[in-house]
Protein backbone atom coordinates (compact mmCIF):
# COMPACT_ATOMS: atom_id res chain seq x y z
CA UNK A 1 0.00 0.00 0.00
CA UNK A 2 1.22 3.49 -0.89
CA UNK A 3 0.57 5.94 1.93
CA UNK A 4 1.16 9.69 1.79
CA UNK A 5 1.35 11.44 5.13
CA UNK A 6 0.83 15.20 5.16
CA UNK A 7 2.43 17.10 8.03
CA UNK A 8 4.33 14.11 9.42
CA UNK A 9 7.63 15.81 10.28
CA UNK A 10 6.39 16.50 13.80
CA UNK A 11 5.88 14.47 16.95
CA UNK A 12 3.05 12.13 15.98
CA UNK A 13 4.05 11.84 12.33
CA UNK A 14 7.62 10.85 13.16
CA UNK A 15 6.40 8.02 15.40
CA UNK A 16 3.85 6.98 12.80
CA UNK A 17 6.43 6.80 10.03
CA UNK A 18 8.68 4.72 12.29
CA UNK A 19 5.84 2.24 12.86
CA UNK A 20 4.68 2.05 9.22
CA UNK A 21 7.93 2.19 7.28
CA UNK A 22 8.60 -1.55 7.29
CA UNK A 23 5.25 -2.54 5.77
CA UNK A 24 4.18 0.34 3.51
CA UNK A 25 5.52 2.58 0.77
CA UNK A 26 5.59 5.98 2.46
CA UNK A 27 5.86 9.62 1.47
CA UNK A 28 5.75 12.62 3.78
CA UNK A 29 4.64 16.10 2.64
CA UNK A 30 5.53 18.90 5.02
CA UNK A 31 6.65 22.53 5.09
CA UNK A 32 9.37 21.44 7.53
CA UNK A 33 12.14 18.86 7.00
CA UNK A 34 12.03 15.66 9.03
CA UNK A 35 14.64 15.05 11.73
CA UNK A 36 14.63 11.30 11.15
CA UNK A 37 13.01 10.60 7.76
CA UNK A 38 14.05 13.39 5.45
CA UNK A 39 14.66 10.90 2.62
CA UNK A 40 10.87 10.32 2.57
CA UNK A 41 9.95 13.99 2.87
CA UNK A 42 8.86 16.40 0.13
CA UNK A 43 8.27 20.10 0.64
CA UNK A 44 4.61 21.05 0.39
CA UNK A 45 2.09 23.35 2.05
CA UNK A 46 -1.58 22.36 2.37
CA UNK A 47 -2.48 26.01 1.82
CA UNK A 48 -1.17 25.70 -1.77
CA UNK A 49 -3.12 23.28 -3.95
CA UNK A 50 -0.53 23.46 -6.72
CA UNK A 51 2.13 22.14 -4.35
CA UNK A 52 -0.02 19.34 -2.92
CA UNK A 53 -1.68 18.06 -6.08
CA UNK A 54 1.34 16.53 -7.90
CA UNK A 55 2.63 14.99 -4.67
CA UNK A 56 -0.52 12.88 -4.26
CA UNK A 57 0.02 10.90 -7.44
CA UNK A 58 0.51 7.16 -6.97
CA UNK A 59 -1.12 7.20 -3.55
CA UNK A 60 -3.65 4.78 -2.06
CA UNK A 61 -4.28 6.47 1.28
CA UNK A 62 -3.66 9.90 2.81
CA UNK A 63 -3.01 10.52 6.51
CA UNK A 64 -3.62 14.22 7.18
CA UNK A 65 -1.83 15.57 10.25
CA UNK A 66 -0.95 19.09 9.08
CA UNK A 67 -2.49 21.71 11.36
CA UNK A 68 -2.03 24.92 13.28
CA UNK A 69 -2.47 23.60 16.80
CA UNK A 70 -0.80 25.83 19.41
CA UNK A 71 -3.13 27.98 21.52
CA UNK A 72 -1.16 31.18 20.83
CA UNK A 73 -1.05 31.30 17.02
CA UNK A 74 -1.22 34.81 15.54
CA UNK A 75 -2.94 35.95 13.48
CA UNK A 76 -5.84 33.64 14.26
CA UNK A 77 -6.67 33.45 10.55
CA UNK A 78 -3.78 30.95 10.26
CA UNK A 79 -5.91 28.31 12.01
CA UNK A 80 -8.50 28.54 9.23
CA UNK A 81 -6.01 28.95 6.38
CA UNK A 82 -4.29 25.68 7.34
CA UNK A 83 -6.93 23.58 9.07
CA UNK A 84 -9.95 24.48 6.91
CA UNK A 85 -8.71 25.75 3.54
CA UNK A 86 -5.93 23.17 3.71
CA UNK A 87 -8.53 20.43 4.03
CA UNK A 88 -10.30 21.69 0.91
CA UNK A 89 -7.03 21.62 -1.03
CA UNK A 90 -6.20 18.09 0.11
CA UNK A 91 -9.65 16.77 -0.85
CA UNK A 92 -9.44 18.44 -4.25
CA UNK A 93 -5.96 16.97 -4.85
CA UNK A 94 -7.08 13.51 -3.69
CA UNK A 95 -10.05 13.65 -6.04
CA UNK A 96 -7.84 14.71 -8.92
CA UNK A 97 -5.45 11.82 -8.26
CA UNK A 98 -8.09 9.16 -7.66
CA UNK A 99 -7.27 8.70 -3.96
CA UNK A 100 -10.33 7.56 -1.98
CA UNK A 101 -9.02 6.79 1.52
CA UNK A 102 -8.31 9.45 4.15
CA UNK A 103 -7.36 9.30 7.83
CA UNK A 104 -7.74 12.75 9.37
CA UNK A 105 -6.41 13.88 12.73
CA UNK A 106 -9.06 16.07 14.31
CA UNK A 107 -9.22 16.74 18.07
CA UNK A 108 -11.39 16.44 21.16
CA UNK A 109 -11.06 20.25 21.25
CA UNK A 110 -14.22 20.31 19.13
CA UNK A 111 -16.27 19.43 22.26
CA UNK A 112 -15.17 22.45 24.30
CA UNK A 113 -14.33 22.55 28.01
CA UNK A 114 -15.89 20.86 31.05
CA UNK A 115 -18.18 18.53 29.13
CA UNK A 116 -19.48 15.36 30.78
CA UNK A 117 -17.35 12.63 29.22
CA UNK A 118 -18.44 13.32 25.61
CA UNK A 119 -18.57 10.56 23.03
CA UNK A 120 -18.57 10.89 19.25
CA UNK A 121 -22.28 11.79 19.17
CA UNK A 122 -21.93 14.72 21.59
CA UNK A 123 -22.65 18.06 19.83
CA UNK A 124 -19.57 20.12 18.99
CA UNK A 125 -19.04 23.22 21.11
CA UNK A 126 -15.44 24.39 20.56
CA UNK A 127 -14.20 27.28 22.69
CA UNK A 128 -11.04 28.32 20.83
CA UNK A 129 -9.95 28.88 17.24
CA UNK A 130 -8.11 25.57 17.07
CA UNK A 131 -11.23 23.62 18.03
CA UNK A 132 -13.46 25.74 15.80
CA UNK A 133 -11.20 25.23 12.78
CA UNK A 134 -10.97 21.48 13.37
CA UNK A 135 -14.75 21.25 13.58
CA UNK A 136 -15.12 23.23 10.36
CA UNK A 137 -12.71 20.80 8.70
CA UNK A 138 -14.85 17.87 9.88
CA UNK A 139 -17.98 19.57 8.53
CA UNK A 140 -16.28 19.82 5.14
CA UNK A 141 -15.58 16.07 5.29
CA UNK A 142 -19.22 15.36 6.20
CA UNK A 143 -20.45 17.24 3.16
CA UNK A 144 -17.79 15.72 0.94
CA UNK A 145 -18.75 12.16 1.86
CA UNK A 146 -22.38 12.82 0.89
CA UNK A 147 -21.27 13.18 -2.74
CA UNK A 148 -18.32 10.72 -2.50
CA UNK A 149 -19.91 7.82 -0.64
CA UNK A 150 -17.45 5.32 -2.13
CA UNK A 151 -14.65 6.97 -0.14
CA UNK A 152 -13.33 5.67 3.18
CA UNK A 153 -12.93 8.60 5.57
CA UNK A 154 -11.72 7.84 9.09
CA UNK A 155 -11.47 10.65 11.64
CA UNK A 156 -9.56 10.31 14.88
CA UNK A 157 -10.20 12.81 17.68
CA UNK A 158 -7.35 12.25 20.12
CA UNK A 159 -7.11 13.85 23.51
CA UNK A 160 -3.82 15.48 24.56
CA UNK A 161 -1.00 13.24 23.32
CA UNK A 162 2.25 12.81 25.21
CA UNK A 163 5.40 10.75 24.84
CA UNK A 164 9.11 10.75 24.30
CA UNK A 165 10.52 13.93 22.69
CA UNK A 166 7.22 15.81 22.96
CA UNK A 167 7.30 19.37 24.28
CA UNK A 168 3.68 20.10 25.07
CA UNK A 169 1.50 20.67 28.11
CA UNK A 170 2.00 17.18 29.55
CA UNK A 171 5.76 17.51 29.24
CA UNK A 172 5.63 20.93 30.90
CA UNK A 173 3.80 19.36 33.84
CA UNK A 174 6.29 16.48 34.08
CA UNK A 175 9.23 18.88 33.82
CA UNK A 176 7.87 21.10 36.58
CA UNK A 177 7.38 18.09 38.85
CA UNK A 178 10.87 16.80 38.05
CA UNK A 179 12.43 20.20 38.75
CA UNK A 180 10.53 20.76 41.99
CA UNK A 181 8.99 24.00 40.68
CA UNK A 182 5.45 22.67 40.27
CA UNK A 183 2.63 24.85 41.64
CA UNK A 184 -0.69 23.13 42.33
CA UNK A 185 -3.73 25.21 41.39
CA UNK A 186 -7.27 24.23 42.28
CA UNK A 187 -8.48 21.16 44.18
CA UNK A 188 -6.82 18.67 41.84
CA UNK A 189 -9.95 16.55 41.41
CA UNK A 190 -10.40 17.57 37.78
CA UNK A 191 -9.93 14.59 35.46
CA UNK A 192 -7.46 14.68 32.57
CA UNK A 193 -7.87 12.28 29.67
CA UNK A 194 -4.55 11.57 27.97
CA UNK A 195 -3.15 9.37 25.22
CA UNK A 196 0.33 7.89 24.86
CA UNK A 197 1.77 8.42 21.40
CA UNK A 198 2.74 4.75 21.07
CA UNK A 199 -0.93 3.79 21.40
CA UNK A 200 -2.19 6.54 19.09
CA UNK A 201 0.03 5.48 16.20
CA UNK A 202 -0.84 1.83 16.85
CA UNK A 203 -4.53 2.74 16.52
CA UNK A 204 -3.84 4.53 13.23
CA UNK A 205 -2.10 1.40 11.93
CA UNK A 206 -5.14 -0.60 13.05
CA UNK A 207 -7.45 1.77 11.13
CA UNK A 208 -5.32 1.40 8.00
CA UNK A 209 -5.77 -2.37 8.06
CA UNK A 210 -9.18 -2.91 9.66
CA UNK A 211 -11.41 0.15 9.20
CA UNK A 212 -11.46 0.42 5.44
CA UNK A 213 -15.02 1.41 4.51
CA UNK A 214 -17.46 4.22 5.16
CA UNK A 215 -17.27 7.38 7.24
CA UNK A 216 -16.04 6.74 10.78
CA UNK A 217 -15.26 8.99 13.75
CA UNK A 218 -13.33 7.85 16.83
CA UNK A 219 -12.27 9.55 20.02
CA UNK A 220 -8.94 8.19 21.20
CA UNK A 221 -8.10 8.19 24.91
CA UNK A 222 -6.09 5.76 27.02
CA UNK A 223 -8.10 4.51 29.96
CA UNK A 224 -8.55 4.66 32.90
CA UNK A 225 -8.31 8.44 33.33
CA UNK A 226 -6.34 10.09 36.13
CA UNK A 227 -7.31 13.21 38.02
CA UNK A 228 -4.59 15.78 38.67
CA UNK A 229 -3.95 14.53 42.21
CA UNK A 230 -3.49 10.94 41.00
CA UNK A 231 -1.27 12.04 38.12
CA UNK A 232 0.90 14.17 40.40
CA UNK A 233 1.31 11.31 42.87
CA UNK A 234 2.20 8.79 40.16
CA UNK A 235 4.83 11.05 38.58
CA UNK A 236 6.38 12.14 41.87
CA UNK A 237 6.63 8.55 43.09
CA UNK A 238 8.30 7.45 39.85
CA UNK A 239 10.78 10.34 40.00
CA UNK A 240 11.38 10.02 43.74
CA UNK A 241 10.14 13.58 44.31
CA UNK A 242 8.17 15.02 47.21
CA UNK A 243 4.51 15.61 46.37
CA UNK A 244 3.82 19.38 46.65
CA UNK A 245 1.49 19.97 49.59
CA UNK A 246 0.45 23.58 48.94
CA UNK A 247 -2.54 24.22 46.67
CA UNK A 248 -3.39 27.69 45.38
CA UNK A 249 -7.06 28.51 44.77
CA UNK A 250 -8.27 28.75 41.19
CA UNK A 251 -8.85 32.52 41.30
CA UNK A 252 -5.25 33.09 42.35
CA UNK A 253 -3.97 30.87 39.53
CA UNK A 254 -6.05 32.76 36.97
CA UNK A 255 -4.79 36.09 38.33
CA UNK A 256 -1.25 34.86 37.79
CA UNK A 257 -2.18 33.73 34.28
CA UNK A 258 -3.53 37.18 33.39
CA UNK A 259 -0.35 38.73 34.75
CA UNK A 260 1.75 36.59 32.42
CA UNK A 261 -0.63 37.45 29.54
CA UNK A 262 0.20 41.11 30.17
CA UNK A 263 3.94 40.41 30.28
CA UNK A 264 3.70 38.45 27.02
CA UNK A 265 1.76 41.29 25.41
CA UNK A 266 4.21 44.05 26.29
CA UNK A 267 7.31 41.92 25.64
CA UNK A 268 5.92 40.34 22.43
CA UNK A 269 7.21 36.99 23.68
CA UNK A 270 5.39 33.67 24.01
CA UNK A 271 5.54 32.46 27.61
CA UNK A 272 4.90 28.99 29.06
CA UNK A 273 2.30 30.36 31.50
CA UNK A 274 -0.93 32.06 30.40
CA UNK A 275 -4.52 32.43 31.54
CA UNK A 276 -5.63 30.01 28.81
CA UNK A 277 -3.22 27.35 30.04
CA UNK A 278 -4.23 27.83 33.68
CA UNK A 279 -7.88 27.47 32.63
CA UNK A 280 -7.12 24.31 30.66
CA UNK A 281 -5.03 22.90 33.53
CA UNK A 282 -7.87 23.35 36.04
CA UNK A 283 -10.66 22.15 33.76
CA UNK A 284 -11.97 18.62 33.46
CA UNK A 285 -11.07 17.20 30.07
CA UNK A 286 -12.51 13.70 30.14
CA UNK A 287 -13.69 11.93 27.01
CA UNK A 288 -15.31 8.63 26.13
CA UNK A 289 -13.35 6.25 23.89
CA UNK A 290 -15.60 3.21 24.09
CA UNK A 291 -16.17 3.18 20.34
CA UNK A 292 -12.45 3.01 19.47
CA UNK A 293 -11.74 0.26 21.99
CA UNK A 294 -14.81 -1.71 20.89
CA UNK A 295 -13.34 -2.07 17.39
CA UNK A 296 -11.10 -4.82 18.75
CA UNK A 297 -8.04 -2.61 19.03
CA UNK A 298 -5.81 -3.47 21.98
CA UNK A 299 -3.38 -0.70 23.04
CA UNK A 300 0.18 -2.00 23.30
CA UNK A 301 0.80 0.07 26.45
CA UNK A 302 -1.21 1.00 29.52
CA UNK A 303 -1.43 4.71 30.36
CA UNK A 304 0.86 4.15 33.34
CA UNK A 305 3.38 2.34 31.11
CA UNK A 306 3.31 5.25 28.66
CA UNK A 307 4.00 7.74 31.45
CA UNK A 308 6.79 5.54 32.82
CA UNK A 309 8.44 5.20 29.41
CA UNK A 310 8.27 8.98 28.93
CA UNK A 311 9.67 9.75 32.38
CA UNK A 312 12.53 7.32 31.92
CA UNK A 313 13.40 8.69 28.49
CA UNK A 314 13.21 12.36 29.48
CA UNK A 315 14.29 12.51 33.12
CA UNK A 316 15.63 9.24 34.53
CA UNK A 317 17.88 8.07 31.68
CA UNK A 318 17.88 11.13 29.38
CA UNK A 319 19.26 10.74 25.85
CA UNK A 320 22.19 12.80 24.60
CA UNK A 321 20.62 14.43 21.52
CA UNK A 322 18.40 17.49 21.74
CA UNK A 323 15.77 16.61 19.13
CA UNK A 324 12.27 17.37 20.37
CA UNK A 325 8.87 18.40 19.02
CA UNK A 326 6.75 21.37 20.10
CA UNK A 327 3.01 20.84 20.55
CA UNK A 328 0.16 21.45 22.99
The 10s digit of each residue's pLDDT in 167-213 is 988 998 899 889 888 888 999 999 999 999 999 999 999 999 999 99
Q: What is the pLDDT of residues 55-97, one digit of tens each?
A: 999 999 999 999 988 777 888 899 999 999 999 999 999 999 9
d(Cα 18, Cα 139) in Å, to the nearest integer?
A: 31
What is the model's pLDDT at position 69?
A: 81
Domain boundaries, the chain: 2-163+193-222+287-301
Q: What is the pLDDT of residues 203-248, one digit of tens each?
A: 999 999 999 999 999 999 999 999 999 999 999 999 999 888 888 9
Under the banding of pLDDT at 50, 70 and 90, the label for residue 165 is very high
pTM for the model: 0.92
Measured at the CA of 136, the angle between CA 147 and CA 101, to 5 degrees, comes to 45
CA distance to 175, 187, 192, per residue, from 178 (Å): 5, 21, 19
Residues 6+ apart with CB under 8 A from 63: 3, 4, 5, 6, 8, 16, 102, 103, 105, 204
Does residue 127 carry a pLDDT above 80? yes
Arithmetic mean of pLDDT, 148-155: 98
d(Cα 161, Cα 163) in Å, to the nearest integer?
A: 7
Does residue 277 carry a pLDDT above 90? no
Q: What is the pLDDT of residues 17-43, one digit of tens each?
A: 999 999 999 999 999 999 999 999 999
3-state secondary structure the chain: CEEEEECCCCHHHHHHHHHHCCCCEEEEEECCCCCCCHHHEEECCCCCHHHHHHHCCCCCEEEECCCCCCCCCCCCHHHHHHHHHHHHHHHHHHHHHCCCEEEEECCHHHHCCCCCCCCCCCCCCCCCHHHHHHHHHHHHHHHHHHHCCCCEEEEEEECEEECCCEECHHHHHHHHHHHCCCCEECCCCCEEEEEEHHHHHHHHHHHHHHCCCCEEEEEECEEEEEEHHHHHHHHHHHHCCCCCCCEECHHHHHHHHHHHHHHHHHHCCCCCCCHHHHHHHHCCECCCCHHHHCCCCCCCCCHHHHHHHHHHHHHHCCCCCCCCEECC
Under the banding of pLDDT at 50, 70 and 90, the label for residue 328 is low
d(Cα 128, Cα 112) in Å, to the nearest integer?
A: 8
Question: Could you tell me which CATH number the domain at 2-163+193-222+287-301 has?
Answer: 3.40.50.720
What is the model's pLDDT at position 55?
A: 98
d(Cα 295, Cα 317) in Å, to the nearest integer?
A: 36
Give catalytic residues, as residue numbers. Answer: 130
Arithmetic mean of pLDDT, 46-53: 98
- Are 129 and 79 in contact, with CB atoms under 8 Å apart? yes
What is the model's pLDDT at position 213?
A: 98
Q: Across all residues in the chain, what is the average pLDDT? A: 94
Amino acid sequence: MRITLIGASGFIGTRLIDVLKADYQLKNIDIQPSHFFNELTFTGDVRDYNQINPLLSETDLVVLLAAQHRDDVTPTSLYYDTNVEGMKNVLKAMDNNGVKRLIFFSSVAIYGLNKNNPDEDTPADPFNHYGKSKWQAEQILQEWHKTHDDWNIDIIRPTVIFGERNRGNVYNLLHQLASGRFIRVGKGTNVKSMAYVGNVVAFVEYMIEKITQGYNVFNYIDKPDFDMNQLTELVCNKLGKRIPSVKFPYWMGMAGGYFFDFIAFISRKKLSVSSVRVKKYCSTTQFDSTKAHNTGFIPPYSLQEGLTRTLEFEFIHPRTDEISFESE
